[in-house]
Structure 1
Amino acid sequence: MRPLAASMVGVRFGAGGRARREMWMKYRRIGLALVVPALVATACGSGSSSSSTGAALAATQQLRFPITDDIKYLDPGHVSTAVDIAFVQNTFGGLYRFDDNLKEVPYIATAMPDISSDGLTYTFHMRHDVKFSNGDPVTSADVLYSWNRAARLNDSYGIVFQPVEGYTAVAPSKGNPTATTLSGLSAPDQYTVKAKLTLPAGYWLTEVALWTADVVDQKVIPNDTDKTWWTNPATAIGTGPFKLTAYVPKDHLSFANVPNWWGGSTGHLTDIEATILADQGSQVTKYQNGGFDMIGPADNYPPLDAVRNFQANSATKSQFVNIPGGRSTWVGFNFSTGPFAPAGGNIDDPIALAGRRAFSEAIDRTQLVTVACGPGGIVCKPGTGGVIPKGLDGYLGDGADTSSAFDATKAKADLQTWDPNGTKRVGLQYWYNTTTSNKAIADNLQSQWQTNLGVHVDTQHTDFSTFLTARQDKKYTLFRDSWGADYNNPQDWFDNIFICSQAAVGLGNNDGICDQRIDTPVKKAEGETGSQAITDFTTANKQLVTDYAAAVLEYGANQYFIKPYVQGGGGNALYDNSWTSISIAAH
């Protein structure tokens, strides 16, 4: 989801949003059907640990797992990282949510909304029995307060409310706000909410199920500038099945199930303990010694060396669960300036195209994932079906991305077309943000470009924040790029990464590519739902392939270590399974 829009297809999530998504690295074209097929897990496990309805349960129903980094916010209006989102999804809730199969289902709402024939007016009907964890009733006034507040805060995901009338007055891209509430929101009665959009937006109903639209209790939030209310268990009030009971920064978070929860059963777990432990080796050791029940929740995947060791050991092999993830990584090319940029702004410039094509053709994706992701691609798979990964709407199909085909001979011919005098290739650099996995990919790219093209490319890395800023400012010629879906809708990808309104310096279209053959079908698709929208997004996706806008490398996966006695642990392509789905068997 991510960075954004000045108009219906404008800057969808701006610089901050893309940064958020990058941190997540995990995460819908549901339209009005609102159903996304569950993705099938691969490798040594299924999408979750085994679940047996007849298994005897342990007397203590506590789930323990580590997280590498401390949380930043547990405030739906500010939350932006995968770590934070994993906890917010269990403690807060909105009108809708995604279940463990990625199906959007009613939560506080009684059903899917009534939508006017012109697609502009949504009427939401609420349950009358919903309560916050402190017992306060939830009404339409709380929904309006929460949605208006999220729009005013204008943080990474605030753009969720961009389609609603009055958004630009509350959260203008420039200048000061001229309103504090969205003019398109109203509450005809205590349990009805109406939203009027500026233009039809088939994807918006899906976005309403995101955390930014979760309901917060205005009685416990002093004002919009307060960012600490959620740190105190007494005021960390939500509608979810669990509540915060303790938070010690840089040490741990504790949660407990909500007694007499309005939604019914909270499942079997009564306590959750998340320990903040930066050293991943220590996490694995503690897991092996019985101190943790899982590694992997909250975007905290086990390290590759540990995964390899677990797979090689018959006693632990079954504890590794590997699930196809909704994220892609690719080599980005600078379309704004430098040797890969189209001359004179001509997107079809054959010389620049030959250069981009050469550097993509010279990459053997199978070799790359074997080196960077383990033998056979343990934690990622070759990217051969376009930027949208397999399992999500908009995937072009296995091998359908012709720009991913490895051909060293053709690559050398294209290199000669692009740089007959050998001057453009001098001093090329590939930039990435510093992580072990990113370095492994960068080192392999460097080796393959040297072997298959005869071109030496320096690899350079820097910290995450510096990298994001420089990349969005179009300062890199070759660079690592990546996106993880927030929801299963191609709009989540195109609005944020590949459209012209995001191509300016400082915005999320890191390539700076602007091709009306992409923008036109994207604009059309955004007013559509169902199969027609997918068809138009697919047209745009195929044009990306034709333009060689991205040398897609790999599709990521979500990994977990799960003890045999943990029932229902794991997740899907985008999120962890709900804590309500997990239990601890006797052991």
Structure 2
Amino acid sequence: MAREPNTELGITRRQALASGMAVSSSMFLAGCAGGGDGGDGGDGSDGSDGSDGSDGSDGSDGSDGSDLPNQELYFAQVKGPLDMDPIIMNDVPSAQIANQMFDGLYEYNEGVGIEPKIATEAPTVERDGTRFIVPIRDDAVFQNGDPVTAEDVIHTIVAPVEEQTENAAEVDMVDTAEAIDDTTIQFDLSYPYGAFEVALVRNVVNKEVRTSDREAYNTDPVTSGPFQLTEWEPESFATLDRWDDYWDDSNGLPNVATIEFDPIEEQTTRVTELETGNVDIIETIPPQLYETVRNNESATIDEEPGVGYFYLAFNCGDGPTTDPMVREAVDYCFSMDQAIENFVQPAGVRQVSPYPRTMAEEWDFPLDEWGDISHDRDLDMAADLFEEAGVDMDYNWRIIVPPDDMREQIGISIGDGLQNAGFSNVEVQRLDWGTFLDAYVTEDAERYNMYTLGWSGSPDPDAFVYQLLSQEVEGTTNGTFHEYSEASEMLTQARESADREERRQLYIDATTELLEGRVHIPAYNLKNSYGIHERVSDFSAHAISTEVQIFTGHNNVSVE
């Protein structure tokens, strides 16, 4: 049962949030990008504190004899979802929602380990790492009654390549996929891809329904998970309801009956919504508000170092930044260490390579050596290099950033450094996501010289450097258009090897060349941080940013 509208104000919760009003008669805040459609978030002023049973505190709605809990969870995202079809999905907010609705072939456990879901056990690996045999369950069912079949799994894996989606590089090593029988699938790879088990962590789609109308599937997907999509608006809210006939009841059913995912882009508003009780969980605690949340008696912070990477990237294909000397001069214009200390900590940590620290340490990568590549601020050296490279001091610099405060502050730090070095025409342009994504893949210096961006990948080096720095995926995730073909080839060799030590050395050599060429200047890694209201139990942060684990084999979130 949804929380009641705020009758005192005469508006619904979603209407209030969309207009920038905190749903409390004493608080008005501007800048919120979205919201939910329930009541006032439990401040008790309209009786929604449980006196009418609407919060599920008695474990039942009592109206129809059902003994299922009837709890509602409001989850505030930073951005709203763009897609609901996992085949084309390429953003974190969408994946966070999809992971509640779809069951994966394999899924992450409470850490970064992988466990079977639609599969019954780990794949059998044959032919020197080029054949993977995956057994699947015979009892999994989609919400329309269709059984989950081997053909559904095969379509899930091969469709990104067949349809040339932005996710194609994750599975383009699959040469053939066939059903040996009704519950066994054989994947033959064109090379021994060392991270293929990670690539099998994918949400399984319904092939028949999806292929009959792909556009409709992206707005109203047929799924097999514990929640179903009941309402959503792209880049805005999404409402999920529990599927009470969920096929896998081995761990019971979710305590939460309804989940509202609402984007609240403005960070102060997001924290205020948690403080006033209008939302139950918020993601990404902004650094300047950490203490505010920590000092809130009604909320706690749970955080986990993320498997992510945030960076400054250069347009190496057009304009003055095609010259590595110019890129080095920009590096001398500012201090990345100081920018991270000022604008990111304690919400994140300085990162000196494309690999999250936990991954880099596991692979014994030379972090100290890589950390010495980036320069500290030295305006005299910057000026000398700009002069030597022949850059006109009247040049119009353009740095584009997505709608994110921390990444914008990194861009501003660079822009200030360029001005301090003597340039008068410097623009740091904050763009909405669609405009930003359209711009940074154009290779057009009139649209950008530099950009700040982030990436969340799977726990394997290939998910970061191949996706972001290989010339083979240029124009999708790689907006640098760099000239380092030898390094790019090494990244390809690393992904096509099953020998871990060989892969390690290839990653070291390629990454060193790319960092010395300053294709990227690594910036930071965020902690996956969540503000959790005291009425919520059994929720914890996960290292993978797409993993919002509300109901899994390890937890079952409750809302009092």
1:412 partner letter:
D
Q: What's 1:412 paired with?
A: 380
Q: What's 2:29 paired with?
A: none
Q: What's 1:566 paired with?
A: 536
Tell me by how many angstroms 1:585 deviates.
6.2
Q: Does 1:227 align with 2:215?
A: yes
Correspondence list, 1:130-209, <5 A = 130-165=140-175, 184-209=176-201
Q: What's 2:136 paired with?
A: 126
Correspondence list, 1:44-63, <5 A = 59=59, 60=69, 61-63=71-73
Q: What's 1:499 paired with?
A: 470
Structural RMSD (CA): 3.2
Task: Name the stretch that deviates more: 555-564 or 432-441.
Answer: 432-441
Give me the whole-angstrom Cα distance separating, in 2, the residues matched to 1:434 and 1:202.
Answer: 33
Match of 2:224, SS? Answer: coil
Q: Does 1:112 align with 2:81?
A: no
Q: Does 1:402 align with 2:392?
A: no
Tell me by how many angstroms 1:458 deviates.
0.6
Give me the whole-angstrom Cα distance separating, in 2, the residues matched to 1:510 and 1:230.
Answer: 26
Residues 443 and 58 of structure 1: is their aligned pair in 2 closer, same or farther, counting only changes over 3 Å? Answer: farther
Tell me by how many angstroms 1:205 deviates.
2.6
Match of 2:439, SS? Answer: helix
Answer whether contact 1:565 1:584 (CA < 8 A) is retained.
Answer: no
Residues 577 and 388 of structure 1: is their aligned pair in 2 closer, same or farther, counting only changes over 3 Å? Answer: same
Give me the whole-angstrom Cα distance separating, in 1, the residues matched to 2:269 and 2:478.
Answer: 38
5+ unaligned residues in a row in structure 2: which ranges? 1-56, 60-68
Answer whether contact 2:309 2:356 (CA < 8 A) is retained.
Answer: yes
Residues 262 and 272 of structure 1: is their aligned pair in 2 closer, same or farther, counting only changes over 3 Å? Answer: same
Q: What's 2:281 paired with?
A: 294
Deviations 1:260-299 (A, max 9, x none): 6336114652323215355645544443233322112xxx
Answer whether contact 2:271 2:293 (CA < 8 A) is retained.
Answer: no
> Sequence identity of aligned pairs in percent?
16
5+ unaligned residues in a row in structure 1: which ranges? 1-56, 166-183, 343-351
Tell me by how many angstroms 1:85 deviates.
0.8
Residues 378 and 398 of structure 1: is their aligned pair in 2 closer, same or farther, counting only changes over 3 Å? Answer: farther
Task: Name the stretch that deviates more: 200-209 or 329-338.
Answer: 329-338
Answer whether contact 1:332 1:551 (CA < 8 A) is retained.
Answer: yes
Q: Does 1:269 align with 2:293?
A: no
Q: TM-score of the superposition, structure 2-length normalised?
A: 0.76
Correspondence list, 1:434-513, <5 A = 434-435=402-403, 436-451=405-420, 453-456=421-424, 458-461=426-429, 462-476=431-445, 478-502=449-473, 506=475, 508-513=477-482
Give me the whole-angstrom Cα distance separating, in 2, the residues matched to 1:155 and 1:421.
Answer: 39
Deviations 1:415-453 (A, max 9, x none): 4144149744432414113523333222222233444x4
Answer whether contact 2:395 2:425 (CA < 8 A) is retained.
Answer: yes
Q: What's 1:315 paired with?
A: 297
Q: What's 2:524 paired with?
A: 554
Deviations 1:199-236 (A, max 9, x none): 3222233112133xx24263xx164434234655xxx5
Answer whether contact 2:161 2:171 (CA < 8 A) is retained.
Answer: yes
Tell me by how many angstroms 1:563 deviates.
1.7
Give me the whole-angstrom Cα distance separating, in 2, the residues matched to 1:421 and 1:148.
Answer: 47
Match of 2:330, SS? Answer: helix
2:343 to 372, 375, 381: 372
Deviations 1:65-107 (A, max 9, x none): 2346543332222322211111221221232122220112222
Give me the whole-angstrom Cα distance separating, in 2, the residues matched to 1:73 and 1:266.
Answer: 29
2:372 partner letter:
T
Match of 2:407, SS? Answer: helix
Answer whether contact 2:106 2:118 (CA < 8 A) is retained.
Answer: yes
Residues 138 and 222 of structure 1: is their aligned pair in 2 closer, same or farther, counting only changes over 3 Å? Answer: closer
Answer whether contact 1:65 1:274 (CA < 8 A) is retained.
Answer: yes
Give me the whole-angstrom Cα distance separating, in 2, the residues matched to 1:229 and 1:193.
Answer: 24
Answer whether contact 1:357 1:403 (CA < 8 A) is retained.
Answer: no
Residues 528 and 554 of structure 1: is their aligned pair in 2 closer, same or farther, counting only changes over 3 Å? Answer: same
Deviations 1:101-126 (A, max 9, x none): 01122222222222222332222122
Give me the whole-angstrom Cα distance separating, in 2, the residues matched to 1:98 and 1:283.
Answer: 28
Q: What's 2:45 paired with?
A: none
Give me the whole-angstrom Cα distance separating, in 2, the residues matched to 1:288 and 1:225.
Answer: 43
Tell me by how many angstroms 1:479 deviates.
1.0
By relative contact order (CA 8 Å, sep 6+), the higher-ranking structure is: 1
Give me the whole-angstrom Cα distance separating, in 2, the residues matched to 1:524 and 1:148.
Answer: 22
Tell me by how many angstroms 1:396 deviates.
4.1
Give me the whole-angstrom Cα distance separating, in 2, the residues matched to 1:245 and 1:356.
Answer: 46
Equivalences, count: 480
Answer whether contact 1:100 1:577 (CA < 8 A) is retained.
Answer: no
Give me the whole-angstrom Cα distance separating, in 2, the residues matched to 1:87 and 1:148.
Answer: 22
Q: What's 1:391 paired with?
A: 358
Q: TM-score of the superposition, structure 1-length normalised?
A: 0.73
Residues 292 and 507 of structure 1: is their aligned pair in 2 closer, same or farther, counting only changes over 3 Å? Answer: closer
Give me the whole-angstrom Cα distance separating, in 2, the residues matched to 1:251 and 1:485.
Answer: 22
Q: Does 1:532 align with 2:542?
A: no
Q: What's 1:43 paired with?
A: none
Give me the whole-angstrom Cα distance separating, in 1, the residues matched to 2:544 and 2:373.
Answer: 26
Tell me by how many angstroms 1:406 deviates.
1.2
Answer whether contact 2:330 2:414 (CA < 8 A) is retained.
Answer: no
Deviations 1:101-153 (A, max 9, x none): 01122222222222222332222122233333455433323323444545444
Residues 141 and 447 of structure 1: is their aligned pair in 2 closer, same or farther, counting only changes over 3 Å? Answer: closer
Residues 548 and 425 of structure 1: is their aligned pair in 2 closer, same or farther, counting only changes over 3 Å? Answer: farther
Match of 1:431, SS? Answer: strand
1:521 to 469, 480, 490: 490
Answer whether contact 1:67 1:274 (CA < 8 A) is retained.
Answer: no
